[in-house]
C-alpha cells in the first residue's frame, strides 16, 4: 500500500507516533488509509447536508476494512457569488481545489480517496485531482435540491429568482410577491433544481463511470443518497485492493460517453470548460470541436430546466442517468465504472419510468444535442451556445452591437431600460485572463429574460454562462478580448450575426476595417494586480482549452 511509506519500518517510528496521536489503533494501522475529502460548507446549500453523508461514507469505509481520514476543501456558491466581485473567484477555485487535494493526499501517502462534492467548480476540481493523483478514487455528489413551492407552482432558483429581478423591474411582481418567492424558491439542502452546472457535472461524473449508478440524481434529502454514500465508502476500499485507478476509468472513450449523455440532457455549457480540463489531467486532449461533433449526432431527449419544464426530481423518478444510458445503448462505448459494472451492464438493467421526461430517440425534443460550437471572424478559436435553450426563431439573429467592457456596465444599462429589441449586447474583457476568472453572466441574461427580451435581444461574451442561462447567449469567445481576440475591436453599432444552425458568429465589417482597428488597439490594464487572481490571470489559457493553467 502507498501508506506503507508513512507507517512501516524502523525509520517511521515518529510517523507512527503522530498517527497514533490521531486515535488510530494498531489494527487500524494495518488497513488501507482512505482520504474522505469533503467540501462541506455552511454557506453553500448544495453542501449543508454533507455532515450526514460524511458519516455514511466513514461507516462504509470502516465496514469494508479501511481507515478513513477526513479533510476539507473550500467551496464557492456560484449563486451567492453571482453578479459582483465574488464571481471572479469561482472558476479559479477549481484549480485551487485540485492543487489542495494533490498536496494533502501525496504528502501523506494515502491509499485511496472518496470525493464528496456537489456544486459547480468543486466537482470538476475534485475530478481533476483524481486524474492527476491517480490513486483509487470514487466520487459522491451530494444530490439535487427539491423544487420550491409558491401558490401551487413549483420554483427553481434560476428561473424564479434571477429572472424575477427583470419581472419586478418590469412591474410584473409586487414587493410581497418578490419576498414570498425568494423565501420559497430553495426549500433546503441540495444543488439547484434544474440542469444547471452542478447537476450537469454530477450527471457527467456518473456517465464517465466515476460515481456509483444513481448518484447524480438521488435527491440530497433522500435515504437513497445516504445508501449511495455508504456503498461508495465501502467501494473505495475495494478499489484500493484491486488497484483500480481513475485513469483506468477516465479514458478517451469514457469522456466521449460523458459528452454524449451531456448533449442528450441539454446540460450546462460549462462542461466545455470542465471536461477538457479533467481529461487534460489524465493526459487526454478533448478539443472543443468534439462537443459539436457529438452534439450533431445526439438527439436531445429531456426537457429540463432552465430551457424546459422538468426538474432534477423528475429526472430521478423517471430513472435517472441509467435510464438515459439505456436510451443510448447502441451509441455508447462499453467502459468500466468505479462500481464494478460496465456501462452496458448498467444500461441493460435500467428502466425508463416516464417516456415523456426521458423520451425515446424517435420522439426527441431536438434532433441535435445541447451545445453548439460557433466559429467565424469574431471567434476564430470557437465559442459556445446552449442551443437547446434557444427558441427556434432566435437561432439566427442579426443585431447592432451594444458594447460593454464589464458585466457591471452591461447590467446597469439593462436595469435602466437601455437595451431594446434588436440589440446585441457585447460583454468583453470578462474571459479567463481579462476577468480575471471568466465570470458567469447569469445576472444580465436572466434579467433580459425576466424583462421579456429573450426573444428580441441576444448577448455575446468572452465570459461564460451559468447552466441556468437560456436564450440566444453565446459565450467562451476565443481568443478573448484581453488576448487580442476580435471581440476587442467591436464598436458600438456594429452589425453582428449569430447563426446557430450554420455554426457561425460573425462581425459584419470588412477585413481592412478590422486591421485598421487593431492597429490602434492596446490591451487595457489588468483589473486586478495582486493576490491569487493576478497569478491566475498570468497562468490561465483560453476558454477553448478548458481554461487550463500553463505548466511552462
pLDDT tens digits along 339-374: 999 999 999 999 999 999 999 999 999 999 999 999
Shared-domain flag, residues 377 and 503 = yes
Q: Of 245, 214, 209, 246, nearest to 229 (Cα)? A: 214
Residues 378 and 474 in one domain: yes
Please say whether the beta carbons of 429 and 481 come within 8 A.
yes
Does 530 lie in the same domain as 452? yes
- Which cell numbers in the block locate residue 283? 493526459
449 and 509 in a common domain: yes
**Domain total in the chain:** 2
Task: Give the pLDDT of residue 275.
Answer: 98
Q: Which of 217-221, 441-445, 546-550 has the lowest mean pLDDT?
A: 441-445
Instruction: Report CA 185 to chain centroid distance, whole Å.
Output: 21
Residues 525 and 465 in one domain: yes
Cis peptide before 306 (omega within 30 of 0): yes
Span 2-13, mean pLDDT? 97
Structural domain contains residue 361: no
Q: Is 407 within a domain?
A: yes
Q: Give yes or no for residue 251 having a pLDDT over 80.
A: yes
pLDDT of residue 551: 85
Please choose, from the candidates 474, 447, 462, the residue with its C-alpha nearest in 3D space to the C-alpha of residue 523: 462
The reply to whether 114 falls in a domain is yes
Q: Element (H or E) spanning 536, and its range? A: helix 531-539
The answer to whether residues 324 and 388 belong to one domain is: no
pLDDT tens-digit map of 495-537: 999 999 999 999 999 999 999 999 999 999 999 999 999 999 9
Asked if 136 and 278 sit in the same domain, the reply is yes
CA 161 to mean position of chain CA atoms: 20
Give the per-residue pLDDT at 264. 98
Whether residue 443 lies inside any domain: the answer is: yes
Region 245-265 average pLDDT: 98
Asked if 119 and 149 count as a contact pair (C-beta separation under 8 A), the reply is: no
Q: Quick check: is 60 in a domain? A: yes
Last residue of a domain, one of 314, 349, 384: 349
- pLDDT exceeds cutoff 90 at 486: yes
Whole-angstrom distance between the N-terminal and C-terminal Cα of the chain? 33
Q: Residue 386: beta bridge partners?
A: 371
Examine the pLDDT at 7 and tell me if it is beyond 80: yes
Helices then strands, counting H and E runs in the chain, come out as 23, 14
What mean pLDDT do residues 40-64 have? 98
For residue 470, name the pLDDT band (cuts at 50, 70, 90). confident
User: Is residue 552 over pLDDT 80?
Assistant: no
Phi/psi for 41 (5° steps) reads: -155, 140
Q: Calculate what percentage of the chain has a pLDDT beyond 70.
A: 100
Last residue of a domain, one of 349, 380, 409: 349
**Of 284, 318, 349, which marks where a domain is finished?**
349
Give residue 149's pLDDT: 96
Domain of residue 447, residue span:
371-545
Scanning the structure block, which residue is given the C-alpha cell 413551492?
149
Give the mean pLDDT of 193-219. 97
Percentage of the chain exceeding pLDDT 90: 95
Residue 158 scores a pLDDT above 90: no
Percentages helix, strand, coil for the chain (3-state, rounded to 5) are 45, 15, 40
- Mean pLDDT score, 71-100: 96
Say yes or no to pLDDT of 221 above 80. yes
Residues 388 and 254 in one domain: no
Do 268 and 331 have their domain in common? yes
Q: Say if residue 198 is in the same domain as residue 325.
A: yes
pLDDT value of position 477: 98
pLDDT tens digit sequence for 390-437: 999 999 999 999 999 999 999 999 999 999 999 999 999 999 999 999
Active site residues: 466
* Distance between CA atoms of residues 379 and 496, nearest Å: 12
493 touches 397 (CB < 8 A): no
Confidence band of 60 (pLDDT split at 50, 70, 90):
very high
pLDDT value at residue 363: 98
CATH code at position 523: 3.50.30.80
Give the three cell numbers for residue 290: 468534439
Return the residue matching grid coordinates 491569487: 532
Residue 67: pLDDT over 80: yes
Residue 123 lies in a domain: yes
Is residue 357 in a domain? no
User: Mean pLDDT score of the chain, rounded to an integer?
Assistant: 97
Segment 267-283 mean pLDDT: 97
SS3 category, 171 = coil
pLDDT band at 307 (very low <50, low <70, confident <90, very high): confident
pLDDT at 28: 97
Q: Give domain status of residue 360, yes or no.
A: no
User: Domain check: are 290 and 386 in the same one?
Assistant: no
Asked if 507 and 417 sit in the same domain, the reply is yes
Amino acid at each position: 500500500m502507498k501508506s506503507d511509506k508513512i507507517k512501516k519500518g524502523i525509520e517511521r517510528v515518529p510517523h507512527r507516533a503522530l498517527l497514533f496521536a490521531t486515535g488510530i489503533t494498531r489494527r487500524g494501522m494495518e488497513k488501507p488509509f482512505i482520504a474522505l475529502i469533503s467540501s462541506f460548507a455552511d454557506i453553500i446549500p448544495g453542501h449543508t447536508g454533507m455532515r450526514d453523508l460524511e458519516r455514511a461514507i466513514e461507516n462504509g469505509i470502516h465496514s469494508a476494512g479501511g481507515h478513513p481520514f477526513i479533510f476539507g476543501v473550500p467551496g464557492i456558491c456560484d449563486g451567492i457569488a453571482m453578479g459582483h466581485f465574488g464571481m471572479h473567484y469561482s472558476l479559479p477555485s477549481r484549480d485551487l481545489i485540485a492543487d489542495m487535494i494533490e498536496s494533502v493526499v501525496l504528502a501523506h501517502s494515502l491509499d485511496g480517496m472518496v470525493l464528496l462534492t456537489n456544486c459547480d467548480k468543486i466537482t470538476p476540481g475534485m475530478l481533476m485531482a483524481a486524474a492527476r493523483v491517480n490513486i483509487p478514487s470514487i466520487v459522491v455528489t451530494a444530490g439535487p435540491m427539491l423544487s420550491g413551492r409558491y401558490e401551487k407552482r413549483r420554483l427553481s432558483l434560476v428561473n424564479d429568482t434571477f429572472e424575477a429581478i427583470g419581472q419586478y423591474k418590469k412591474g410584473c411582481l409586487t414587493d410581497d410577491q418578490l419576498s414570498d418567492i425568494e423565501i420559497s424558491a430553495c426549500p433546503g439542502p441540495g444543488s439547484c433544481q434544474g440542469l444547471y452546472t452542478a447537476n450537469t457535472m454530477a450527471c457527467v461524473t456518473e456517465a464517465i463511470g466515476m460515481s456509483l449508478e444513481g448518484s447524480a440524481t438521488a435527491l440530497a434529502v433522500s435515504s437513497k443518497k445516504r445508501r449511495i454514500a455508504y456503498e461508495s465508502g465501502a467501494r473505495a476500499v475495494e478499489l484500493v485492493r484491486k488497484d483500480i485507478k481513475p485513469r483506468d476509468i477516465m479514458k478517451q472513450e469514457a469522456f466521449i460517453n460523458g459528452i454524449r449523455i451531456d448533449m442528450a440532457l441539454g446540460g450546462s455549457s460549462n462542461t466545455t470548460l470542465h471536461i477538457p480540463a479533467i481529461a487534460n489531467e489524465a493526459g487526454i486532449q478533448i478539443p472543443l470541436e468534439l462537443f459539436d461533433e457529438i452534439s450533431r449526432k445526439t438527439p436531445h431527449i429531456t426537457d429540463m430546466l432552465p430551457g424546459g419544464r422538468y426538474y432534477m426530481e423528475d429526472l430521478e423518478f423517471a430513472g435517472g442517468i441509467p435510464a438515459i444510458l439505456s436510451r443510448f445503448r447502441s451509441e455508447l462505448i462499453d467502459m468500466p465504472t468505479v462500481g464494478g459494472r460496465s456501462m452496458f451492464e448498467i444500461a441493460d438493467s435500467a428502466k425508463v419510468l416516464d417516456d415523456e421526461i426521458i423520451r425515446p430517440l424517435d420522439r426527441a425534443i431536438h434532433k441535435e444535442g445541447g451545445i453548439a460550437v460557433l466559429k467565424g471572424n469574431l471567434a476564430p478559436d470557437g465559442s459556445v451556445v446552449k442551443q437547446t435553450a434557444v427558441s427556434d426563431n432566435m437561432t439566427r439573429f442579426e443585431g447592432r452591437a451594444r458594447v460593454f467592457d464589464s458585466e457591471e456596465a452591461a447590467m446597469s444599462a439593462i436595469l435602466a431600460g437601455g437595451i431594446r429589441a434588436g440589440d446585441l449586447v457585447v460583454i468583453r474583457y470578462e474571459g479567463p485572463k481579462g476577468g480575471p476568472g471568466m465570470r458567469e453572466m447569469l445576472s444580465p441574461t436572466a434579467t433580459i429574460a425576466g424583462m421579456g427580451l429573450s426573444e428580441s435581444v441576444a448577448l455575446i461574451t468572452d465570459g461564460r454562462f451559468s447552466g441556468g442561462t437560456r436564450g440566444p447567449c453565446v459565450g467562451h469567445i476565443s481568443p478573448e478580448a484581453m488576448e487580442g481576440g476580435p471581440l476587442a475591436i467591436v464598436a458600438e453599432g456594429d452589425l453582428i450575426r449569430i447563426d446557430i444552425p450554420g455554426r457561425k458568429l460573425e462581425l459584419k465589417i470588412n477585413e481592412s476595417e478590422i486591421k485598421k482597428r487593431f492597429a490602434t488597439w492596446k490591451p487595457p490594464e489588468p483589473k486586478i494586480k495582486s493576490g491569487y487572481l493576478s497569478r491566475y490571470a498570468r497562468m490561465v489559457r483560453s476558454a477553448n482549452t478548458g481554461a487550463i493553467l500553463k505548466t511552462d
